[in-house]
Structure 1
Amino acid sequence: MTTPTPTRVAWHPPPNGYVKINFDGATFKDINKAGLGVVIRDGFGQVLASLSEQVQLPYSSDLVEAMAAAKAISFAADLGFSRFILEGDSELIIKALRNKEATLAPFGHILDAAKNSTDVNCISFSHIRRLGNVVAYNLAKHARHVAGLKVWMEDVPPHLYSVLLTDYG
């Protein structure tokens, strides 16, 4: 009897003409804060921009994920990206983003405002397991050490270089 080979979960490049934006959130209950992480990459896996932001801890982890998704959309718009795939590891948030109707969940107003702030016809929403979202996850965790918002253009924090290299399958 053969044992099936496990499928490697890794970041995959977007189609030509698109960028891929990965987002994630992290909670730091001991300091009553949360972290948002976003990374924007091109079809070659090159980082175009990334960010870590520390925010007040909201009442649920779903709200942190919604805030991270909204930050990813606004970050992309601020940088002039209009054709992108938004990818995160929260299936609940991705399903809510795909829904054309108003989201009735407690975090719905955040996602609805983000979707309405940009041309959603140019956006695709994709769910990936945490193992394929490690750069955004580590950026969210890095927010513990950031006062407010920190942006890196064409880069990530140096301690994430090895994570970035192993993430691109």
Structure 2
Amino acid sequence: MAYTLWKHRNDMLFNDVRRELSKLWEAGIKLADDFKEAQQPTLLGTNSREAGETVAVFRWQQPARGLVKVNVDASFRKEENYGAAGVVGRHGNGEFLGAGFQRNPHVNNPLLAEGLAMRTGLEFAWKNKWRRVIMESDSKEFVLCLQGEYKTPNKLQLIVGDILYLAQDMEVQFHHISRVSNNVAHTVAHWDHGVSMEMQWLHHPPYWLIVALLHDIVFLFRHFLSILEQILLSLVIFMISYRLVKKGV
């Protein structure tokens, strides 16, 4: 913002060019947004503004109003020939809606375990009457299969077909995210395998999941404070700089 006003000052003094205050503000905001976006490290993700676009996502991000975000993850034990699915559903403010754990026997590869986790998550959403959902997984290969961007291997065709069939009566988006963003579902998927074949927690999370949930909520709160701080700072700089411009300093 300060740079925009300083540039306008120079245009006034040396080129006799004057712009409306609202145009200066818009230009300053756009410049700040472009700079912030340029500083983001590259990390592949499919929850982007346009199909196929990649964005940097390092933490869990809240869904838009009216949507439920369902994170899924899988664990795989090759020696014991089974996998497990972890599912977590949350509202846009980070509110915990429910979580599920399910052991899946006769699983012989990790990608199949990821597919079963996605199906478990979609079934969990349906049972809880979440009809508008964003399904997130850190398995890029499997998400690309669901999006039709990757040729589905024969071993996954049945599970992909099941998921797409379940999704027909729902409003569903399939997104790939980073492992860091998927930490809560990861925690559920790696819960003690020997306890039960299937467990569910609705409205109130289990004690061992609270820390991971709070971590995401704290990040959202810090992100909000950071935005608020930037806005207030920009306003202060804008007022000071504008007065200097008016005085022709």
TM-score (norm 2): 0.61
Stretch moving more, 115-124 or 64-73: 115-124
1:34 maps onto 2:83 in alignment = yes
1:151 maps onto 2:200 in alignment = yes
Flag structure 2 segments of 5+ consecutive residues without an equivalent: 1-38, 42-55, 220-249
The 1:44–1:150 alpha-carbon spacing in structure 2 relative to 1, beyond 3 Å, is same
Is the 1:77–1:118 Cα contact (8 Å) retained in structure 2?
A: no
Specify which structure has the higher proportion of strand.
1
TM-score (norm 1): 0.88
- CA-to-partner distance for each residue in 1:68-121, whole Å, 9 max, x for gaps? 001111111111111010000000111111129994441121121121123366
The structure with the largest alpha-carbon Rg is 2
The 1:89–1:5 alpha-carbon spacing in structure 2 relative to 1, beyond 3 Å, is closer
Q: Give the RMSD, CA atoms, in angstroms.
A: 2.3
Q: How far apart are the structure 2 equivalents of 1:79 and 1:35?
A: 20
Flag structure 1 segments of 5+ consecutive residues without an equivalent: none
Is the 2:57–2:177 Cα contact (8 Å) retained in structure 1?
A: no
Query: Post-superposition, which runs of at least 4 consecutive aligned residues in structure 1 deviate over 3 A?
Result: 4-8, 29-32, 100-105
Q: Report the AA paired with residue 114 of structure 1.
A: I
Specify which structure has the higher proportion of helix.
2
Q: How far apart are the structure 1 equivalents of 2:121 and 2:197?
A: 16
Structure with greater contact order relative to length (CA < 8 Å, sep ≥ 6): 1
Q: How many residues align?
A: 166
Stretch moving more, 103-112 or 56-65: 103-112
Q: Provide the identity percentage.
A: 27
Equivalent of residue 167 in structure 1, options 216, 228, 236: 216
